[in-house]
Copies of this chain bind each other. A is one copy, B any other.
Amino acid sequence: MTNPTRDTPRILLAHGGGGRLSAQLIRDQILPRFGHGPLAPLPDAASLHLDTPDILFTTDSFVVQPPLFPGGNIGDLAVYGTVNDLAVAGGRPRWLSLALVLEEGLPLATLQTVLDSVRDAAARCAVLIATGDTKVVPRGQCDGLYINTAGIGERLPELTLDRRRIEADDAVLVSGNIGDHGLAVLAAREGIGIAGSPLSDTAPVHRLVDVARRFGPAVRFMRDPTRGGVAAVLNEIAGGQAFGVTIEEAALPVSPGTRALAEMLGLDILGVPCEGRVLMVCSATGATAVLDAWRTLPEGRGAARIGTVTRDAARVCLQTLAGGRRLIAVPQGELLPRIC
């Protein structure tokens, strides 16, 4: 009798030791997928030539659990998360770093699935994996794998994003359904299956930002509502400012499965992370044109105007379906750990 698990190729501690097995992992798994760019000569640092000296730089670590979830995995999430941070800050994403922390015993097949997703996601966003690193930690650490991506983007000169440019009566837009990512991961982690259970919205938003360029100064500010969801972003935008924001519950785009799951779990969808949406504040006069432009893209089909900037200093409110108003607080943060 053979034991099939003994024959499963797995990650060993020595794959992270900088010796022969590290070199083999890079040769067999990294270079075939990412060796077409500046990473090819495996230098200590990638040599890049920029088209502009004005750049954006960001980083994110991904510790999502489980690493494979409905609608995506830690690999595409790590690419889109960093691409999106560059995009909503007004940049054209160009290069990413890819740093893997792998658990000893991780099946090689899982790593391959994740790296395939990284490769495909990077291609979809026209970014190159420029540099990387791999470490291995002992069994029981890191739940399979963690990924860090840092990213460099080139500043888009048409956009001047600054929350201090926001004015009363400006419009608040979102590019699609909210809350899908957080609830998809939570359902997978807790083993909750319901009809129409959500898929993660993990996706790049760089094209949504690209079409927004033509509206120039009408675009005041953008964020991707990831950790802390729409509630955290709105409070961050309005915090300490002379303006507030009021959101219309009736206008919030929410998929039926996400709504059902949030009700079942008693979660406020406004605090649930998205991983493929843009939240934009733009001038009242520009709002319809931005929505029309977004809706020409598949990733913007569900775009909606969800609220308005008010003169109510620093207050973020929800106009409820029942006709009431309530304050939208900053989420505490403990309800949805390890969602990205």
Contacts and interface: CB of A to CB of B under 8 A. Distances in A.
Given A99-B60, A133-B59, A273-B18, A153 B45 contact: yes
A171 to B, nearest CB: 20
B46 A14 contact: no
Interface stretch (A226-234, A287-295, A304-312, A319-327): A226-234
A243 to B, nearest CB: 17
A259 interface: no
Contact of A19 (B55, B151, B228): B228
A223 interface: yes
Interface size class of A (residues with CB under 8 A): 35 or more
State the main secondary structure of chain A at its contact with B. mixed
Interface centre among A51, A137, A337 (most CB of B within 10 A): A337
A15 B338 CA distance: 11
Interface stretch (A109-117, A141-149, A172-180, A245-253): A141-149
29 contacts: A12-B334, A13-B337, A14-B332, A14-B333, A17-B228, A17-B333, A17-B337, A18-B331, A20-B333, A21-B333, A38-B57, A44-B85, A44-B89, A45-B56, A48-B55, A48-B56, A49-B53, A49-B54, A53-B53, A57-B130, A57-B131, A58-B131, A61-B101, A61-B148, A63-B135, A133-B148, A137-B143, A142-B142, A150-B150
